[in-house]
Amino acid sequence: MTLLDRHIAFVEALRSAGLPVSLSEGLDAADAVLTLGLHDREGVRAAYAATLVKRQPHRAGFDHVFDLYFPALVGDPTKPVDPDADPDNEPAEMPEGAQGLGDGPADLAAFRDDLVNALGLGDPDALQTMAREAVQRFGLIRGRAEGEQRWSSYNVMNRVSPGELVDRVLQGLLADLDEDPTMRRLVEAQVAVFSEMVDAEVRRRAAEVRGPEHVAKYTVRKSIDQIDFTSARKADLEEMRREIGPLARRLATRLNKHKASRQRGPLDFRRTVRASVSSGGVPLDTHHRPRRPSRSDLVVLCDVSGSVANFANFTLMLVFALREQFNRVRAFTFVDEIHEVSDRFHPGADPIETMASLAASAQYASLWGRTNYGRAFTRFTELHADALGPKTNLLILGDARSNYSDLGIDVLQQMVKESRHAWWLNPESPRHWNTGDSGARDYEKVVKMIECRNLVQLGDFIHDLA
């Protein structure tokens, strides 16, 4: 493959993995790589990243694809790649076991002992070497022939089980396992790094057999801002949480925008004329009345039922972040009963504790445990009618699945009428609205219903708030 071919194929693979690369960015990238030269792989990575990855959440996917198209080594991990060699002419990898590295129980135990040491040292190079070795020795899928994909991270994780080594690593570092909980987190992070390295090594080997396009297409995960809330894994949720603060700040700025745009406050005519006397009647300086610092209020209703558990987790974090931005946020959770949780969000409170206390309070939002939007809205107007007013922005978060119960459309309509603005963010695709027990299409008639499946859509919603 010539350099240009490789460049074009790489950019194409990034696009099909969902990274938006424009034509001009592709050209910039080629410029950058030529300017820099190809002698240093990490330099090439940096040049491509600088020109093609313009958002940090896209970085992980970029690295996956980069590693496939610019592998650090070819074939057998024990032989480092010769940078001048044409990778297409490399000899095929050596048969496994050729270096006398077995995969029997004793070999496995010895390998795990070594891994305990490497995890304790936190040396990325050592971990890298061990990850490659782990795949070579313990990742083989039996019965597959040369030329087929023969390596599996599942096999490696199953046999090596690095997660079970955490305690052993800690024993080497601390006198008492619970002496310092932060240490455990650091070791767990090392285990995650190791697992990711194993995955990358398996992808690299698969790419040698099946071609990088194929692997890029099927194994690169979506970037965090494109993952659906409802299908997010625990680690994804944590990553999403980190993105929330900025989003909340942007949402607050948008909702307060009409005031911010009039930055100076209205002209104070009298003071301006009075001051102009000293300059012969020419108003050199204009005087303005102070701006009234009124921030609009926000009322949030969150569905916390099981069907939207992930989404609720996420939206409560959003509410938490919004609490920092709005003077008055009132937050309510509901399943079939409404429960005010505003006082659990103190300014300056600890997010993790807040989430725990919210989780514990979810029981109050539930009477029978079956979502009932109509009942929740009715109870809201009975108990908290005072929450809404002409300055209130009302935000409803939920999937509109009400177990075929009364939807309470009229009640919601009245709530919308009493607020300044109202929006409903729905974590389901419009394709599913009004399928099964969803009442989304009915609610849509009285409130602006917006699809909000992932961070990109949440960002778009905020962006479109004019």
Partner 1 sequence: MTWFDSAADAEKKLSGSGYLADQATATTTYLAGALEKPLLVEGPAGVGKTELAKAIARSTGAELIRLQCYEGLDEARALYEWNYKKQLLRIQASQGDDQTWSETHDDIFTEEFLLSRPLLTAIRKETSTVLLIDEVDKTDVEVEGLLLEVLSDFQVTIPELGTITATRRPMVLLTSNATRELSEAVRRRCLYLHIDYPDAEREHAILVGQVPGIEEKLAREIVDTVTRLRALELRKAPSIAESVDWARTLVALGTGTLDQATIDATLGVVLKHSSDIDRAVRELKLRQA
Question: What tokens appear for 353 in the block?
Answer: 């504790």
- Chain centroid to CA 302: 20
- Chain centroid to CA 97: 40
Q: Which of residues 24-63 bind partner 1 (CB under 8 A)?
A: 24-25, 28, 31-32, 35-36, 42-43, 45-47, 49-51, 53-56, 59
Choose among 57, 60, 61, 87: nearest CA to 72. Answer: 87
Look at the block and give the residue holding tokens 């592709």. 26
Residues whose CB falls within 8 Å of the CB of residue 215, separated by 6 or more in sequence, listed in order:
68, 203, 206, 207
Residue in 94, 141, 235, 260 binding partner 1, rule: CB under 8 A? 260
Cα–Cα distance measured from residue 135 to residue 151, given in angstroms and rounded to the nearest whole number: 7
Nearer to partner 1, 31 or 382 (CB): 31
Residue in 100, 280, 290, 436 binding partner 1, rule: CB under 8 A? 280
Least CB distance to partner 1 at residue 148 (A) = 37
Residues whose CB falls within 8 Å of the CB of residue 262, separated by 6 or more in sequence, listed in order:
291
Q: 94 and 76 in contact (C-beta within 8 Å)?
A: yes
What's phi and psi for 304, nearest 5 deg? -115, 25
327 forms part of the interface with partner 1 (CB under 8 A):
no
Residue in 148, 164, 180, 382 binding partner 1, rule: CB under 8 A? 180
Least CB distance to partner 1 at residue 311 (A) = 20
Stretch that binds partner 1, among 81-89, 126-134, 349-357, 370-378 (CB under 8 A): 349-357
Residue in 16, 99, 161, 253 binding partner 1, rule: CB under 8 A? 253
CA atoms within 13 Å, Cβ hemisphere of 85: 14
Nearer to partner 1, 259 or 271 (CB): 259
109 forms part of the interface with partner 1 (CB under 8 A):
no
465 forms part of the interface with partner 1 (CB under 8 A):
no
How many chain residues touch partner 1 (CB under 8 A)?
Answer: 48
- In the shown chain, the binding pattern of residues 208 to 247 toward partner 1, with x for contact by CB under 8 A and - for none, equals --------------------------------------x-
Residue in 106, 145, 282, 466 binding partner 1, rule: CB under 8 A? 282
Nearer to partner 1, 35 or 89 (CB): 35
Residue in 349, 383, 409, 450 binding partner 1, rule: CB under 8 A? 349
Q: 70 and 14 in contact (C-beta within 8 Å)?
A: no
Nearer to partner 1, 2 or 35 (CB): 35
Beta pairing class for 338-340 and 329-334: antiparallel
Cα–Cα distance measured from residue 189 to residue 104, given in angstroms and rounded to the nearest whole number: 28
183 forms part of the interface with partner 1 (CB under 8 A):
yes
Q: 93 and 76 in contact (C-beta within 8 Å)?
A: yes
351 forms part of the interface with partner 1 (CB under 8 A):
yes
Cα–Cα distance measured from residue 209 to residue 326, given in angstroms and rounded to the nearest whole number: 55
Gyration radius from the chain CA atoms: 29
Choose among 314, 332, 331, 312: nearest CA to 323. Answer: 331
Maximum Cα–Cα distance across the chain? 98
120 forms part of the interface with partner 1 (CB under 8 A):
no
Least CB distance to partner 1 at residue 4 (A) = 19
22 forms part of the interface with partner 1 (CB under 8 A):
yes
Least CB distance to partner 1 at residue 201 (A) = 22
185 forms part of the interface with partner 1 (CB under 8 A):
yes
420 forms part of the interface with partner 1 (CB under 8 A):
no
Choose among 396, 386, 286, 277: nearest CA to 331. Answer: 396
Judged by the rule CB under 8 A, the positions of this chain that interact with partner 1 are 22, 24-25, 28, 31-32, 35-36, 42-43, 45-47, 49-51, 53-56, 59, 179-183, 185-186, 189, 246, 249-250, 253, 260-261, 263, 279-280, 282, 284, 348-353, 459, 463
